[in-house]
C-alpha cells in the first residue's frame, strides 16, 4: 500500500488541487494535517483524503511538531513494508504515472527510500540555479518504506525534514522530477523571506545566506525542459 501524507495551510488559491490529483493517481489513501487554515483548504482536501486538524497554528514556528504529527497519523495506517509519500502542497511531479513502477524497482533493489531531484521554480517556466539553489543537482527522499523500528527526528523547529532521520536510509534514485512552485510568485518569495528571517534570524535551523538570497534581484534562472 502507498500512503500519501501532506501538511497544509491556506493553499486553496495555489497548487493544492493539482498536487492532490497527482497523489490520488498513485496513493491508496491520503492523510492531510491542516494547520488552522482560514480559507477553503480543508474542503478541497476532503475530496481526496482524510483531514486532521491542528490544535493551533505552528506555521513558520514549529514545523517539527506538525511533521511528527503527520508521520504519526501515516504510520498509524501503515503496515511494515507499506510506503509513505510525503509532498507539500506546492510540489508536483512531471511524471506521476511512473512513481509506482519506481517504487517496485526500489524494493527489488533492496532499497527503502525513493529520492527525486527537486527544481525550485522561480516562474511558470524557469527554475533557479545558482549558489544556494542546487537541489535539482541531487536527489531527496520523498517516499519511504515503513519499518517496525524506533524512529528519531532532527530536533529543529524548522527544516527538520519530511521523515525521521533513520527512515529510508537505503536510497534509490528516481528520474521523475519534482517542481517546487512555492517560489514561483514574487509575493510568495517575499512572504517566505520574512517568515524565515523572523523565525530563524541567525540561521540556526537553516542557512541564513540562503534566506537572504531569496530576494536577489538577478538570480540565475534556467528553463525547465
Say whether 191 sits in a helix, a strand or coil: helix
> What's the pLDDT at 34?
97
Which has the closest alpha carbon to 91: 29, 143, 37?
Answer: 143
> What's the pLDDT at 43?
97
Q: What is the mean pLDDT of each run of 10 residues along the chain (225 residues)?
A: 97 96 97 97 97 90 93 95 97 97 97 98 98 97 96 93 95 98 96 92 92 96 97
> What's the pLDDT at 75?
96
Q: The CATH number of 2-183 is which of 1.10.287, 3.90.550, 1.10.10, 3.40.190?
A: 3.90.550
**213/219 Cα distance (integer angstroms):** 9
Q: Where are the domains of the chain?
A: 2-183
> What's the pLDDT at 137?
97
**156/161 Cα distance (integer angstroms):** 9
Cα-flanking dihedrals φ and ψ of residue 198, to 5°? -75, -40
Say whether 144 sits in a helix, a strand or coil: strand
Angle at 191 between CA 37 and CA 24, to 5 degrees: 45
Amino acid at each position: 500500500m502507498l500512503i500519501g501524507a501532506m501538511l497544509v495551510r491556506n493553499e486553496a488559491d495555489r497548487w493544492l488541487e493539482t498536487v492532490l490529483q497527482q497523489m490520488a493517481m498513485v496513493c491508496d489513501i491520503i492523510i492531510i494535517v491542516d494547520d488552522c487554515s482560514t480559507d477553503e483548504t480543508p474542503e478541497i482536501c476532503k475530496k481526496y483524503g482524510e483531514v486532521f486538524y491542528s490544535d493551533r497554528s505552528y506555521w513558520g514556528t514549529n514545523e517539527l511538531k506538525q511533521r511528527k504529527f503527520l508521520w504519526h497519523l501515516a504510520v498509524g495506517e501503515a503496515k511494515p513494508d507499506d510506503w509513505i509519500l510525503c509532498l507539500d502542497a506546492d510540489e508536483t511531479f512531471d511524471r506521476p504515472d511512473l512513481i509506482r513502477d519506481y517504487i517496485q524497482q526500489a524494493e527489488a533493489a533492496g532499497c527503502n527510500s525513493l529520492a527525486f531531484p527537486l527544481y525550485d521554480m522561480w516562474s511558470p517556466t524557469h527554475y533557479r540555479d545558482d549558489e544556494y539553489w542546487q537541489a535539482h543537482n541531487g536527489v531527496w527522499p520523498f517516499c519511504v518504506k515503513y519499518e517496525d523500528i524506533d524512529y528519531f527526528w532532527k530536533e529543529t523547529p524548522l527544516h527538520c525534514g519530511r521523515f525521521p532521520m533513520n527512515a529510508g536510509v537505503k536510497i534509490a534514485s528516481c528520474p521523475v522530477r519534482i517542481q517546487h512552485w512555492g517560489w514561483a510568485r514574487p509575493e510568495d518569495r517575499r512572504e517566505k523571506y520574512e517568515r524565515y528571517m523572523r523565525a530563524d534570524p541567525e540561521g540556526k535551523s537553516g542557512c541564513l545566506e540562503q534566506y537572504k538570497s531569496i530576494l536577489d534581484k538577478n538570480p540565475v534562472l534556467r528553463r525547465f525542459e
